[in-house]
Copies of this chain bind each other. A is one copy, B any other.
Amino acid sequence: MAVTSRADAQWSDGLASGSGSVALASGAGEFSMTWKARSEGVDGATTPEELLAAAHSSCFSMALTHELEGNGTPPAWVKTSAQVSFVPGTGVTASVLTVAAKVPGIADEDFQRIAAAAKDGCPVSQALAGVEITLSGATLMD
What residues of B have a CB within 8 angstroms of the CB of A92 in the complex? 123-124, 126-127
Residue pair B124, A5 in contact (C-beta under 8 Å): no
Residue pair B127, A14 in contact (C-beta under 8 Å): no
Interface residues of A in 1-27 (CB under 8 A from B): 1-15, 18, 20, 22-27
Q: Nearest CB to that of A91 among chain B residues?
A: B123
- Residue count of chain A within 8 Å CB distance of chain B: 82
Q: A48-B59, A49-B55 are in contact. List 8 more A-B contacts (CB 8 A).
A: A3-B39, A4-B84, A6-B82, A7-B50, A7-B56, A7-B58, A8-B81, A128-B128
Spell out A's residues near B (CB within 8 Å).
Answer: 1-15, 18, 20, 22-29, 31, 33, 35, 38-41, 43-62, 64-66, 69, 74-88, 91-93, 123-124, 126-131
Residue pair A6, B62 in contact (C-beta under 8 Å): no
| Cα separation A22 to B82 with both chains bound (whole Å) | 10
Residue pair B41, A4 in contact (C-beta under 8 Å): yes
